[in-house]
Structure 1
Amino acid sequence: MSEDHKKQLEQQLWNIANTLRGKMNADEFRDYILGFIFYKYLSEKMEIYANKILKEGGDTFLFSEIDENTATGKEYIEAIKEESLEKLGYFLKPSELFSAVSKRGNHNEDEKESDAVAENTSLTYNTKDNFILEDLQKILNNIQNSTMGTDSEEDFEDLFEDMDLNSTKLGKSPEARNEIIAKVLAHLDKIDFKLENTELDVLGDAYEYLIGKFASGAGKKAGEFYTPQEVSTVLAKFVTTGKKKLKSVYDPTCGSGSLLLRVAKEVEEVNNFYGQELNRTTYNLARMNMILHGVHYRKFDIKQEDTLEHPQHLEHRFEAIVANPPFSANWSANQLFMSDDRYSQYGKLAPKSYADFAFVQHMIYQLSENGTMAIVLPHGALFRKGSEQKIRKYLINEKNYLDAVIGLPEKIFFGTEIPTCILIFKKCRENPEDVLFIDSSKYFEKSTQNFLRPTDVDKIISIYRQRLTEDKYSYLASLNEISENDYNLNIARYVDTFKKAEDVNLIELSDEIKDMNKSISKAQNSLLEFCSELKIPTPF
């Protein structure tokens, strides 16, 4: 039942998204549709919570029925606002609820539309009665303003700044923009998010589905905000191995927050979520994603800044750390970092044009003694020489933190075809004598963008958790072997995937060629006879 509803909801939301698309690219109309869905979510949560307060107080009317213009109505609203800010972290008045705005935008209009909302049928508007753009912009601002001076202020600050309702991309005139927005609100208003069923997270799953759909159309930009779901699952299973609850999980390049939320699906409980994201739009998306998945505003702390240059959570140590940082990004590599506790002990900084190990060093610094971290890196990070080789040597020889190296298939990340890998680090390793190497590069479903199948994911995790050696797939390398390879971690040096060609019987092959030549000769003779009978030139 819930699975069917989830798929139906996903398709409905995607169809609605396409009514907004117009001439906008994927990441532009993504910001609008996800923002409207988030506004509807906040409204419904507000309404459910306010109705609960009224019911507990013995009142028989609903929150949406309160008259905001009467003295009694204002008293009710102030009382509910106080409790809402404490519990939900924000407040909306009855007139600011999604359903109320949608009704105003579609006032007295006869919408004879089916649930197949992808059809771009035009609606006729009385602009005087139905114009909602200014009201809607104020309401989105008011959501943020309601949190001023409260504990949730930072979590809601400028959340809707990417939703410019006056953008000409929505329509050339205010009336055209009003029409398309009112239409989208009307379609969304018909959908039941089933928020009262707290055991289901169908909306959260549908939101993730939409983010993935937008990523598939965003090309290289998708890498800024989304890690393919199956890769997220692998990373999440690595860092939760042997754990049912986590005190904390951290992603220093958290994008839309999907990877943090994926970790939470693998355990019974995560006490706190931490993340940092450079891109402002993606940072907003991450906070929306957290709230929409029911993560209380006091349980997550997402910051917007450059993680390497301006880290925001250095006072914390985390039980689980996951990351899919930008591959081989540039960073300052300023020599001042040699006095930074994250880097000073290594004696070397990652190169300016390859920040991969700078992220590794940063994450290891924040990893707790009983924690596990898993990071996606480009394959070159395994074997490049210079300072990166020295950092690898320190991590393996001096600290013995490296637990496993997993090779992934090519073309499984949006916007790039380069081969990638996952490195797993632990400060207190259960198996300190060896490092597990897994070559899963040949196990995937081939497509425009390749992807790991559930069986591929299960195989990786099973081999990792049991630390098995399997011919052509995995190998336990001793620290001495890695040292003898001069700390080159190229997986091919440890997992032999060479397949010996079958022996060829040359005598049989010679006989086959002779028979083939006889057949060719016979066919040519037949063709010559036909050409002669038809009195046409021969092809020879």
Structure 2
Amino acid sequence: MSTNQSEKSKTLYQALWNSADILRSKMDANEYKSYLLGMIFYKYLSDRMLFYVADTMQTPTDNLLTAQEIYFDAYSDEDTKTDLIEVLKEDISYFIEPNLTFTSLVNQVNVGEFQLELLAQGFRNIEQSNEIFENLFEDIDLYSKKLGATPQKQNQTIASIMKELSVLDIAGHAGDVLGDAYEYLIGQFASDSGKKAGEFYTPQPVAKLMTQIVLHGKENQKGFTVYDATMGSGSLLLNAKKYSNQPGTISYFGQELNTSTYNLARMNMMLHGVAVENQFLHNADTLDQDWPTEEPTDFDGVLMNPPYSAKWSAAQGFLQDPRFSTFGVLAPKSKADFAFLLHGYYHLKQSSGVMAIVLPHGVLFRGNAEGKIRQRLLEEGAIDTVIGMPANIFFNTSIPTTVIILKKNRTNRDVLFIDASKGFDKGKNQNTMTDDHIQAILDAYINRQDIDKYAHVANFDEIKENDYNLNIPRYVDTFEQEEAIDIVQVSQEIVNLNKEIKQAETEFLAMLDQLAVTPETKDLIEATKGVFR
């Protein structure tokens, strides 16, 4: 990154944190993320539109104020206004009235004329421009009492945030810098909001590992399709861009139950430059009703980090659902882990698809219905690799987790076990995995060979002998033999130590004899000597 770009990035991060500070004292991170991320996105859309107008009017500029003037003049001319609006809707899918752009609103803040209703109308402008923006800002309650007890206080809070964000140079950030900063901020919200974070964010080291496994050998594939049925903020999906040599051709399919998080994923996609025609995102309950059901329904890559051991209905009707019917049993009501796994596996391509899913270790050894599902998957050869991850690397849980790799139509039924539980750097509140830790796992996955105390390829007979139990310690022995104790050496050390103690006693008693004796210290000295006799 150039020095200039690095400075811009510092300014970007500083503006984001200054804005967060304004809201941090008023509400928790899980709430204020919607305000801050939504307003950053509004500025992004506004700035992008202004520069596009300047280019369209054949007066390109990198100055927002100049672009604002160009737009105002063009919009004020009745001969060009209608055509300009049509061009904007056609080319970038939205338009914002000149007096409602982020730049215009900040100018109004600076002269004390800003009103919240103007920003609310700007949100509506975008939402009504195209169905892809429908209800995008619905989570941002500009009139919430948490922003201030009175309308004036609410106005001041939002105005302060807008002033902080006004320094962001959207157009000046190359590539995914803004998107990555957005991503970083989401991670910070995840950290601040504790257990709720599991609803919307997968830590980047885990996401990097899973994505590189799913894309291994397909880095040059055009038209790669990737699916996440529990997509959260879309962070896991978006990693595909980083490891593909054809990022502009990737199609992203994702579903999310939480509407607020679904909207966050939509914004995240656009900020990372994903073309609208390559986004296929859905807001619904993944387990309750299958999606997608229209072509395409199977994908090159499936990436999932579902909520661990969530409850679901497990209604008997699901036994006729093609996602679960071939297994004869359903995941228990109290633990939907295998329901999520089977959903993702159902949507995996037959010949070349690769799926990576994060789950708690219980899925590897729990019995009853889960044991039957696991056995059926193993008999099919569906489970390719089981990776034991370190404890305390997720925001929402400190338990160790496992990444399971699944494939269809494999030529054999062996399973690679990798125990990566010790591959982490210890942190104060959370452990982290470095690139070296991730690379070690990738190398073991690619080479698929036994590595002492780290990896083992178990054939099907070995797994069958273990009653289809996939608990990693059964296959990877990480026991470290304690060094044998040399009794002779220890005895000699004790003899030497006793000699040193005796010498110290003699020297100490000699020092006491040299002390000046007073009536007050005589009894104390005699008592001390008595200890050593």
Q: State the TM-score, normalizing by the size of structure 1.
A: 0.89
Cα offset for 1:29?
A: 1.7
Q: Map 1:142-291 to 2 at 5 A.
A: 142-147=125-130, 153=131, 155-194=132-171, 200-243=175-218, 244-245=220-221, 246-267=223-244, 268-269=246-247, 270-291=249-270
Partner of 1:308: 287
Which residue identity does 2:89 align to in structure 1? L
Question: How many Å separate the matches in 1 of 2:409 and 2:261?
Answer: 34
Aligned residue type for 1:64: Q
| Aligned partner of residue 368 in structure 1, secondary structure | coil
Residues 310 and 335 in structure 2, CA contact (< 8 A), matched pair in contact too: yes
Query: Which whole-Å CA distance do the structure 2 matches of 1:212 and 1:105 have between them?
Result: 30
The residue type paired with residue 147 of structure 2 is L
Match of 2:24 in 1: 21
Residues 11 and 190 of structure 1: CA distance in aligned 2, closer, same or farther (over 3 Å): closer
State the 1:63 CA deviation: 5.6
8 Å CA contact retained: 2:105, 2:114: no
Q: Is the 8 A contact 1:247 1:272 kept in 2?
A: yes
> Does structure 2 conserve the Cα–Cα contact (< 8 Å) formed by 1:66 and 1:73?
no
Cα offsets for 1:427-457 (capped at 9, x unmatched): 133x625211101100100012001011001
Over 3 Å counting, the alpha-carbon distance change for 1:530 and 1:404 in structure 2 is same
Q: Distance in 1 between matches of 2:6 and 2:444?
A: 30
Q: CA deviation at 1:4?
A: 5.0
Structure 1 contact 64–95 (Cα < 8 Å) conserved: no
3-state DSSP class of the match of 2:494? Answer: helix
| Aligned partner (choices 263, 272, 283) of residue 293 of structure 1 | 272
Aligned to 1:318, the other structure's residue is in SS state: coil
Give 1:187 shift.
2.0
Q: Which amino acid aligns with 1:374?
A: A
AA at the equivalent of 2:199: E
Please give the alpha-carbon distance, in whole angstroms, between the structure 2 residues aligned to 1:328 and 1:417: 14
What does the per-residue CA deviation read over 1:384-405, in whole Å, with 9 as the maximum and x for residues that have no partner? 11111111111111x2111111
Answer yes or no: is 1:49 the counterpart of 2:61.
no
Deviation at 1:531, TM superposition (A): 7.0
Q: Percent identity?
A: 46
Cα distance change of structure 1 residues 305 and 527 upon mapping to structure 2, 3 Å threshold:
farther
Give the drift of 1:131: 3.1
Match of residue 339 from structure 1: 320
CA displacement at 1:3 relative to structure 2: 4.6
Q: Report which stretch shifted further, 242-251 or 231-240.
A: 242-251
Contact 2:97 2:122 in 1 (8 A): no
Question: 2:228, 2:157 → 1: CA distance?
Answer: 37
Matched residues in 2 for 1:145 and 1:230: separation? 38
2:478 to 479, 486, 497: 497
Superposed displacement of residue 527, structure 1: 5.4
Deviations 1:158-208 (A, max 9, x none): 11111111112112222222222222212211221235x6x5211011111
One-letter amino acid matched to 1:168: K
TM-score in terms of structure 2 length: 0.90
Q: CA shift at 1:8, angstroms? A: 4.1
Q: Secondary structure at the match of 2:143?
A: coil
The answer (yes or no) to whether the contact 1:54–1:63 under 8 Å persists in 2 is: no
CA contact (8 A) 2:53 2:71 kept: no
1 or 2, which has the higher helix percentage? Answer: 2
Give yes or no for the alignment of 1:76 onto 2:80: yes
Q: Shift of the alpha carbon at 1:22? A: 2.1
> Separation in 2 of the partners of 1:526 and 1:175?
81
The aligned amino acid for 1:384 is R
Larger mean CA deviation between 416-425 and 130-139 belongs to 130-139
| Structure 1 position 77, deviation (Å) | 3.0
Whether contact under 8 Å (1:249, 1:273) holds in the other structure is yes
